[in-house]
Amino acid sequence: MKKLQLALAALLLSGACALPASPASAASKPITVQIDQKALSFGDLTPVQQEGTVLVPMRALFQKYGAQASLDAKTGVITGAKNGLRIQLQLGSKRATINGQAVQLSLAPQKINGTVYVPLRLIGEAFGCSVAWNAKSGMVSITSPADPSGIKTLLSQYVEYSNTENLEGFMSLFTSDSPLNVPAVRSQIQAALAASDMKTAVEQASILKLQGNDAIVQTVESTSHISGPYEPDQRSSNTYHLIYAKDNWRIRDVTINGVQYLLSDAQRNVQLTVPAEDAEAVQTVLKNYYDYAAKKQADALFGLFEKEPQASEQAGYTQAFQNYDLAYTVENSRIIAYSGKECALLFNVAIRKVKGSDYKDNRNEIVFRMVKNADGQWKIGGTFVIGSTPLNP
């Protein structure tokens, strides 16, 4: 699945005011606060708003979260604590800390008629809640963090549906407005599932953020090739944006942060019987590839591929040709997989700068997936960089 990014905009309650608050500065429309759709009572007191920042009485808010709250009368330091979470603010200061991490406030905590008022958004989000402001109704809606236990279930289903090639089940794990849940991407996923048999496993999963009904989860996943077009085993780092709705976690978006291709010693050193004609032909393609690269013959190089490289890939070659003169030395090339119509060619290539912009000489270990077309010609069907090391560390 290709990396797809979606930029998300968030509306923040922010603002600053150099003057102390007073009851007269409150918005003309009464401000109400709901936590999980239930009104939060402040007794005879009322929230106030200054320049878009909502302040509420300290004790009522902390008590709602079951937290201990205190005020040091000498220093003006406000402390709220619960289950390892420690929030500290100071009257008149726009600096707060959450478990020792500094946070900049748009408006400082204040005393109004003897009552300490604190920024609502800061406290709500510190407890993992999402905070939304409706200017029309004058309501602040706070949503407590959803139960994270369902995230493990979601990831288990993700793995199960991937490994069993259950397209309908797989697509059901995405939100209806996910950029991955569209016909074009669905067709790509369907084609990928049909073409190859891969086994996926989640090795690690960490919740980076849990805010109301939103979660950001980072995983380390391994994928093993079982059958289909050659592809090395791989380990990837992925970030999932999850949404909790209708009592279930669903995937809003996925970002692939990086992929590491893996080869075992047994895979590197496998002994195969390959017809001499085919072995010679694929070695010729490899030689031509780097000859064309050294001579900057882009069209000839692109002609070695099974499919014409995408525009972005072509642009990458063009930019490299413009910036550098490079020399290539191919080493230790050998076929590590062969089926008659397809093979995998493993090799090392030392790349040295002849002239051009700053470039660090390096040696790459690469696999070319080669395919024989209808005309009996071997073409490059895919490239996989296994590793890279500097030549002059």
Residue 18 domain flag: no
Residue 9 domain flag: no
pLDDT band, residue 194 (cuts 50/70/90): confident
Instruction: Say how many domains are in the chain.
Output: 3
Say yes or no: 279 and 222 in one domain: no
The answer, yes or no, to whether residue 3 has pLDDT greater than 50, is: no
Q: Which of 143, 158, 179 is the last residue of a domain?
A: 143
Say yes or no: 119 and 160 in one domain: no
Say yes or no: 298 and 204 in one domain: no
Residue 281 domain flag: yes
Predicted confidence (pLDDT) per residue in 178-187, tens digit: 999 999 999 9
C-alpha distance from residue 216 to each of 99, 156, 160, 198, 255 (Å): 20, 16, 21, 25, 11
Q: Which of 89, 113, 143 is the last residue of a domain?
A: 143
Residue 168 domain flag: yes
pLDDT at 28: 55
Residue 8 domain flag: no
**Which of 34-38, 85-89, 360-364 comes out lowest in average pLDDT?**
34-38
Residue 303 domain flag: yes
DSSP 183-235: HHHHHHHHHHHHH-EEEEEEEEEEEEEEETTEEEEEEEEEEEEEESS---EEE
Residue 14 domain flag: no
Q: Which of 223, 244, 262 is the last residue of a domain?
A: 262
Say yes or no: 38 and 119 in one domain: yes
We report the CATH number of the domain holding residue 234 as 3.10.450.50
Q: Which residue has the higher pLDDT, 169 or 3?
A: 169
Helix, strand, coil percentages, rounded to 5, for the chain: 25, 45, 35
Do residues 99 and 82 lie in contact, with contact meaning Cβ atoms separated by under 8 Å?
Answer: no
Say yes or no: 275 and 251 in one domain: no
Mean pLDDT on 69-92: 93
Say yes or no: 202 and 126 in one domain: no
Give the Cα-Cα-Cα angle 258, 311, 262 (nearest 5 degrees).
25
Predicted confidence (pLDDT) per residue in 271-295, tens digit: 999 999 999 999 999 999 999 999 9
Say yes or no: 182 and 279 in one domain: no
Run of H or E residues at 123: helix 120-126
The answer, yes or no, to whether residue 311 has pLDDT greater than 80, is: yes
Say yes or no: 249 and 274 in one domain: no
Alpha-carbon gap, residue 141 to 42, rounded angstroms: 15
Strand order in the sheet with 233-245: 197-211, 214-227, 233-245, 248-262
Mean pLDDT on 172-199: 90
Q: Which residue has the tokens 């205190």?
A: 70
Q: Which two tokens stand for residue 386?
A: 């296994």
pLDDT at 21: 37
C-alpha distance from residue 359 to each of 293, 355, 392 (Å): 16, 9, 11
Do residues 205 and 358 lie in contact, with contact meaning Cβ atoms separated by under 8 Å?
Answer: no
We report the CATH number of the domain holding residue 80 as 3.30.457.10
Say yes or no: 128 and 166 in one domain: no
Residue 365 domain flag: yes
pLDDT at 352: 94
Say yes or no: 27 and 134 in one domain: yes
pLDDT at 358: 82
pLDDT at 136: 87
Segments forming the whole domain that contains residue 247: 149-262
Percent of the chain with pLDDT over 70: 93
The answer, yes or no, to whether residue 26 has pLDDT greater than 50, is: no
Predicted confidence (pLDDT) per residue in 87-141, tens digit: 999 999 999 999 999 999 999 999 999 999 999 999 998 888 889 999 888 899 9
Say yes or no: 157 and 200 in one domain: yes
C-alpha distance from residue 315 to each of 42, 301, 310, 322 (Å): 62, 13, 9, 10
Say yes or no: 377 and 285 in one domain: yes
Pairing label, strands 32-35, 139-143: parallel
C-alpha distance from residue 278 to each of 133, 284, 345 (Å): 67, 10, 12
The answer, yes or no, to whether residue 9 has pLDDT greater than 50, is: no
Give the Cα-Cα-Cα angle 148, 152, 153 (nearest 5 degrees).
105
pLDDT at 393: 61
Q: Which residue has the tokens 């609502």?
A: 120
